[in-house]
A = this chain, B = another copy of it.
Amino acid sequence: MTAADSSNPAAARVATRLHVDEPLAAGGTVGLDRDRAHYLRSVLRLSSGDAVALFNARDGEWLARLEGLGKGWASVAVEAQRRPPVAEPDLWLVFAPIKRARIDFLAEKASELGCSLLQPVLTRFTMVERVNVERLAANAREAAEQCERLSVPAVREPLALERLLDGWGESDETRGRRLVMADEGGAHDRSLPPLGDAVAAAAEEAGGAGGSWALLIGPEGGFAPAERERLAALPGIVRGTLGPRLLRADTAAVAGLALLQARVGDWR
């Protein structure tokens, strides 16, 4: 059996998984960009005939074979489907940007934890206002390639929190989407329910798991009083605590996403 035995494409060993935007179908050919050609040739040391997997959310994952590989270019022949497309959780992470190493980490973790979209928001106390959206998207894509998901999270340009809330519930993509706020005030406010329980209760009210969700994580300095008031008054907002310790923004994001996936996502 060769590495790219197409009699059982799902079991064939591949050197790597690559996300591509192009349509994937048997007999098709996909060209890879400069960076990825370099990665295949110089890092993985592949050559013509070697098997890789290509995937996207629309077409699933496909067994493919390197046709040609040169300096700065590669072409790949698509052979057979390894995995059909699947429905994935519709889970946004809305977060105030943080410093470089931590935001890179956050993009990686959010991708592994199945986020569909990363939306940076600027709040009153946000310390970091510039976001390298391209770098975040590259981190998210790389994590998606490693963790075996079929989609890659979208990464948007930063938006003022106020603007996001102005239209919340009115656009197609926010209508019915539950906003979940991991409330760092909870470290001192014992009246808030545990976040996992709050999410489970909101899901039950809405008739079960699934649906569309967004986890909101504030900046390291917390939300301003006016922002907290506005959020608390938002129809359908789900607020909960992540316990008595003060969590960093990146820790809160990972913990909150884990609780969401465990309660209403695809971990069950």
Contacts and interface: CB of A to CB of B under 8 A. Distances in A.
Interface of A: 101, 105, 108-109, 112-114, 146-149, 187, 194-197, 241-248, 251, 254-259, 261-263, 265-268
B148 A196 contact: no
Given A195-B262, A254-B255, A187 B245 contact: no
The A contact surface, by secondary structure, is helix
B246 A146 contact: yes
B245 A114 contact: yes
A251 B196 contact: no
Contacts of A256: 258
Interface centre among A114, A254, A265 (most CB of B within 10 A): A254
B248 A251 contact: no
A197 B248 contact: no
B259 A262 contact: yes
A32 B9 CA distance: 63
A109 B253 CA distance: 12
Contact of A259 (B108, B187, B245, B259): B259
